[in-house]
Chains A and B, each alone.
Chain A
């Protein structure tokens, strides 16, 4: 167990416990620590983490000269909260952008890698030229996409699935061949269930404001979107940042900065109860810790289990958020092992193919300092809603699926120099249609309970910036 901290021996301390030592829990604790210093609140902050390590899904591993990211490998710079946090904790200089020159992505299509045409903003082309050059779509499919500007606005209000939105506006081919691999890959989701309002609010907004996605994109209707879309293709890779020595630096620097915060690993929480005006937190070791305020930075289903006796309504809603499992398979090869040179950040795979492999990132081309020269490091993402059992397969099977895909698309036959599998069971929250309304109902129920706040990747964004934002909001709410 790692325990640390030397809170002032003052009697006027206010104890706050954060349950969960992933990025959300650490960001919440850090914001509490900052506020305590700024406003002299005298907070005594404790983070309880069930597993032996901090960081949750963030997991960086060094294998010789290779830098392997098990979980998220970067964050969006466009959403400010992660970048700002990095600057506040003194690691702004460590952030590196994606590499120049190779910012392209591909789709594995009929055994070949077809480039995503330049100018595709996530799934819709920003002009006719990129659309016509696209080899993935048939001519009728392209014409159907081009008709998007003439499709009337949806009359019904309320949420709809991404599949329904794309089918309605851009046609079934755009859904199947571009949207599912691209967007489904990012969210590990089934687009028939994925909420357009929660996952792609900008598209929803384009239709509402401009009546057409293509028209909005032509006008540069998405801030920074069109600029990014002109240079890069696919999920705009140029918009990503990562710490030079891996995402785990974010965890390390947070832990190092908030010295007075007690960080307890190997400490699963088995129950919480109201006690006086505050909380009693029971750990697996049998200890009961008292706190005046509590932040649950947990997967929705774990928060639900703790809240069952306190707010059955909130617990029921939290339980309704489904989770999917994921695994990443990282392989390293010698450059000479690739008969076909590959210049790009990676490729996505249409759903249900390749043993549940959703996409493959060429980590050593996406970021510098990932692999020694003369080698390539690539990372495949397996699992998600379209292949729910795939991520639970044993290492040999996962590696074999990825190697089969690499053989098919890039004729790679060599044995990898390095192979690493990282597993994230029940880790990917699914933003189903109606998700935002559900989150609003949860927030309403939680707001009735004094000195309790929630954080996590199940709120309004799955990425690191949103996790941090939500966690900082939770910390601020507790200090009010």
Chain B
């Protein structure tokens, strides 16, 4: 049976989550271990998914690194105190996540403690490139011009920045592993704005050093979006599982990364807003692409959309279990 979980499975599409969010803000929810554990566990129970996901946010690591986060705007979170120069990079401190992100480790411990012991708990962090882009853009971007200008015009400062972020991510993920997560996912959500050569030159060595420095006993899911043109390089950076978005054919993506590596994906999140028969059809198509080989984790190609009907998400897990069980 193909295991299935959903990126951002504890999210706005769930009624219970929305009710909690009426009482507390998003950062408050992340920083309260009780509430974070509650929403993570209730989501996995509601969906009957095969893994629980730590309730947290990619950007929280930027706070101890000296940036201020602003949630709640329409276009996603923004980051104040944008990094703009080599001097700004020098000013970024080396963080001690055990201190400043202790609330995350506390949430991991409490979630693990209250969760069905048979269900694995996934931790996660942003990959160096995506975090660097947040720091340089100050938020989401269409062109990533600030990131790329910095990368191309001052490669020395770029490497210093990527190394600083990498050290922070390693400490952060290893902290989550020590606190009890069973696997970790590294999100390179924005890496698709690069071409193969830029990825190889400016990103790959750093991501590879992060994955290599993680505690060995825990599987790593390395996820990116829009990197169909450099899947091989992406694979070279490391990861026991490669997560891909819906812009690639899962079968050929798997062939590209090699069958010795597991794959995760890749239903278009928008499909979950369509009627259930359509969802069923699409799941069928994806399972066909994998040819029933073990080593596939069913997932969406990106985070679940807030407007998704709750029952469709529940149906997705049922359909995946049902159809993969038949094979």
Do the two chains belong together in a single complex?
yes
Q: A residues within 8 Å of B by Cβ?
A: 50-52, 268, 284, 325, 389, 392-398, 400, 423, 425-426
Chain B residues lying within 8 Å of A393, measured Cβ to Cβ, are 93-94, 96
Question: Which of B66, B85, B100 is the one whose CB lies under 8 Å from A50?
Answer: B85
Asked whether A425 lies within 8 Å of B64 as measured between CB atoms, the reply is no
Question: Which of B85, B91, B95 is the one whose CB lies under 8 Å from A423?
Answer: B91
Question: Which of B84, B90, B94 is the one whose CB lies under 8 Å from A394?
Answer: B94
Question: Which of B66, B87, B153 is the one whose CB lies under 8 Å from A395?
Answer: B66
Q: Mark B25-66, 1 if CB is under 8 A from A, else 0.
A: 000000000000000000000000000000000000000111
Chain A residues lying within 8 Å of B95, measured Cβ to Cβ, are 394
Question: Which of A284, A395, A400, A426 is the one whose CB lies under 8 Å from B93?
Answer: A395
Question: Which of A51, A392, A396 is the one whose CB lies under 8 Å from B87?
Answer: A51
CA distance A26 to B99 in the complex (A): 41
Closest Cβ of chain A: how far from B175's Cβ, in Å?
14
Chain A residues lying within 8 Å of B153, measured Cβ to Cβ, are 284
Chain A residues lying within 8 Å of B84, measured Cβ to Cβ, are 52
Interface centre among B93, B95, B153 (most CB of A within 10 A): B93
Asked whether A426 lies within 8 Å of B90 as measured between CB atoms, the reply is yes
Closest Cβ of chain A: how far from B156's Cβ, in Å?
10
With CB as the reference atom, state the residue of chain A lying closest to B94.
A392
With CB as the reference atom, state the residue of chain A lying closest to B96.
A397
Q: Report, nearest first, the 10 A-B pairs whose CB atoms are least far apart.
A: A425-B90, A394-B93, A396-B100, A394-B95, A394-B64, A423-B91, A392-B94, A396-B99, A397-B96, A392-B93
Asked whether A394 lies within 8 Å of B65 as measured between CB atoms, the reply is yes
CA distance A284 to B153 in the complex (A): 9
Asked whether A423 lies within 8 Å of B93 as measured between CB atoms, the reply is yes
Chain B residues lying within 8 Å of A52, measured Cβ to Cβ, are 84
Closest Cβ of chain B: how far from A447's Cβ, in Å?
30
Contact sample, A vs B, 25 pairs, CB 8 Å cutoff: A50-B85, A50-B87, A52-B84, A268-B85, A389-B94, A394-B64, A394-B66, A394-B93, A394-B94, A394-B96, A394-B100, A395-B93, A395-B100, A396-B96, A396-B99, A396-B100, A397-B93, A397-B96, A397-B100, A400-B99, A423-B66, A423-B91, A425-B87, A425-B91, A426-B90
Closest Cβ of chain A: how far from B101's Cβ, in Å?
9
CA distance A51 to B99 in the complex (A): 31
Closest Cβ of chain B: how far from A282's Cβ, in Å?
12
CA distance A325 to B91 in the complex (A): 10
Closest Cβ of chain A: how far from B93's Cβ, in Å?
4
With CB as the reference atom, state the residue of chain A lying closest to B87.
A51
CA distance A389 to B96 in the complex (A): 13
Closest Cβ of chain B: how far from A433's Cβ, in Å?
27
CA distance A50 to B157 in the complex (A): 15
With CB as the reference atom, state the residue of chain B lying closest to A268.
B85
Chain A residues lying within 8 Å of B66, measured Cβ to Cβ, are 394-395, 423
CA distance A392 to B94 in the complex (A): 6
Closest Cβ of chain B: how far from A319's Cβ, in Å?
15
CA distance A284 to B157 in the complex (A): 14
Q: Mark B96-114, 1 if CB is under 8 A from A, else 0.
A: 1001100000000000000
With CB as the reference atom, state the residue of chain B lying closest to A427.
B90
Beyond A50-B85, A393-B96, list 8 extra A-B contacts (CB 8 Å). A392-B93, A394-B65, A394-B95, A394-B99, A396-B96, A397-B96, A400-B99, A423-B91
CA distance A423 to B84 in the complex (A): 16
CA distance A380 to B153 in the complex (A): 37
With CB as the reference atom, state the residue of chain A lying closest to B95.
A394
CB-contacts of B248-305 with A (<8 A): none
CA distance A425 to B65 in the complex (A): 14
Interface centre among A50, A325, A395 (most CB of B within 10 A): A395
With CB as the reference atom, state the residue of chain A lying closest to B168.
A394
CA distance A51 to B86 in the complex (A): 10
CA distance A397 to B95 in the complex (A): 8
Closest Cβ of chain A: how far from B63's Cβ, in Å?
9
Chain B residues lying within 8 Å of A397, measured Cβ to Cβ, are 93, 96, 99-100
With CB as the reference atom, state the residue of chain B lying closest to A50.
B85
CB-contacts of B189-219 with A (<8 A): none
CA distance A389 to B64 in the complex (A): 16
Chain A residues lying within 8 Å of B96, measured Cβ to Cβ, are 393-394, 396-397
Assuming A400-B99, A423-B91, A426-B90, is B85 touching A395 (CB within 8 A)? no
Closest Cβ of chain B: how far from A132's Cβ, in Å?
45
With CB as the reference atom, state the residue of chain A lying closest to B89.
A425
CA distance A398 to B100 in the complex (A): 11
CA distance A396 to B65 in the complex (A): 10
With CB as the reference atom, state the residue of chain A lying closest to B64.
A394
CA distance A419 to B94 in the complex (A): 19
Asked whether B90 lies within 8 Å of A395 as measured between CB atoms, the reply is no
CB-contacts of B65-86 with A (<8 A): 65-66, 84-85
Interface centre among A325, A396, A400, A426 (most CB of B within 10 A): A396
With CB as the reference atom, state the residue of chain B lying closest to A266.
B84
With CB as the reference atom, state the residue of chain A lying closest to B91.
A423
Chain A residues lying within 8 Å of B87, measured Cβ to Cβ, are 50-51, 425
Chain B residues lying within 8 Å of A268, measured Cβ to Cβ, are 85
CA distance A394 to B91 in the complex (A): 10
Chain A residues lying within 8 Å of B85, measured Cβ to Cβ, are 50-51, 268
Chain B residues lying within 8 Å of A394, measured Cβ to Cβ, are 64-66, 93-96, 99-100
CA distance A135 to B90 in the complex (A): 41
CA distance A396 to B153 in the complex (A): 33
Chain A residues lying within 8 Å of B99, measured Cβ to Cβ, are 394, 396-397, 400
CA distance A52 to B94 in the complex (A): 23
Closest Cβ of chain A: how far from B276's Cβ, in Å?
48
